Structure 1
């Protein structure tokens, strides 16, 4: 039986690297929920994201989780106006430099071509590069942590006023609105 990727993962973040960090949910809650519970789950997420990965080894999963957490900690530091930890920056830079993925436009859609020798490393390189472009780019001041109950997920505030509070109005924003209605 195959699982529906949208029931397992949140895929609504417009920033690829931040969508990857959302493979842990309820980060600010009492019990954060790990969604990459095994190599098969990482394979599922990568495929749903457009990376043609056939198999993920346990070592690939460990590297992916380390990268995901480095991206999350760097993003959270930047959102708080702090300097990211140098160890996290090294993890991010190493993943980005190790990847050999090639972008291509095929049938009007962007595709990633991964090497046969290290497809997961290539995919992680794309994720790391995406994070670097955002976290080190001109919009870094728009990186925020969600204020939704228990969430703390990363997002890019693209609102004109720069006052967005939730990673997604459809999830965290609705939870807050429903709680307010129930309380009144």
Structure 2
């Protein structure tokens, strides 16, 4: 998002986005926690809100990084109104935490309308840690999710992942796209650790075109 509109997903965790100029591109945040930033947020990012009801959150999870480990059907996640509200508050905190990390790494820029990470944000993340979705074996010996998966379990998974990003060297790979007016955040999981763009289809290509025009 951030100058793009959500359009769906191709494989779990890889989201199809469409920019204001109508160009589609695939974006992978490399992280389940950072993927939550694509669903809306505090003003002015609330205009991208996708989680209007508990079912919206459950539907969205079926295309998330959570489903990359095991397939996840919409009806396998049960979200209450309270859990939806908790997820939104967690996401708002994430909007302050992730850009702060990117700026510390000199791999980001200030995000419009969003302040720095606070002690209250860290407290909220810690409070979200609890039981997470569990993979189990069914009667046929197939690996499946233990059902139902709850909204609280999903939030706990995001909190645990975020703590790993903040509290370990992994945090050094939290970055913001270097494209002009693009604020998409990602965890660089590439082996060389040199990812610069939300997508080579969009901002990476724009950079290449700009360099070409400058040279010619």
Is the shorter-chain TM-score for this pair beyond 0.5, marking a shared fold?
yes
Distance 2:174 2:142 in 1: 27
Find 1:95's aligned residue among 120, 123, 128: 128
Which protein is richer in strand relative to its size?
Answer: 2
Distance 1:108 1:153 in 2: 40
RMSD (Å) for aligned C-alpha atoms: 3.8
Q: 2:103: which partner in 1?
A: 80
TM-score (norm 2): 0.62
Distance 1:180 1:111 in 2: 48
Change (3 A) 1:123 1:159: closer
Q: 1:165: which partner in 2?
A: 196
Change (3 A) 1:24 1:168: farther
* 1:92-131 aligned within 5 A: 92-97=125-130, 99-104=131-136, 112-113=145-146, 116=148, 119-131=150-162
Structure 2 gap segments, 5+ residues each:
1-6, 17-26, 106-115
Q: Deviations over 1:10-68 (max 9, x none)?
A: 5622211111222239x9x8985223233332111122233564443332221111112
Question: Are the equivalent residues in 1 in contact too, given 2:134–2:146 (CA < 8 A)?
Answer: yes
Question: Are the equivalent residues in 2 in contact too, given 1:64–1:124 (CA < 8 A)?
Answer: yes
Question: Are the equivalent residues in 1 in contact too, given 2:99–2:185 (CA < 8 A)?
Answer: yes
Q: Check if 1:17 corresponds to 2:40.
A: no
- Distance apart, 1:182 and its partner CA: 8.3
83-92 vs 47-56, which moves further: 47-56
Say which one has the larger Rg: 2
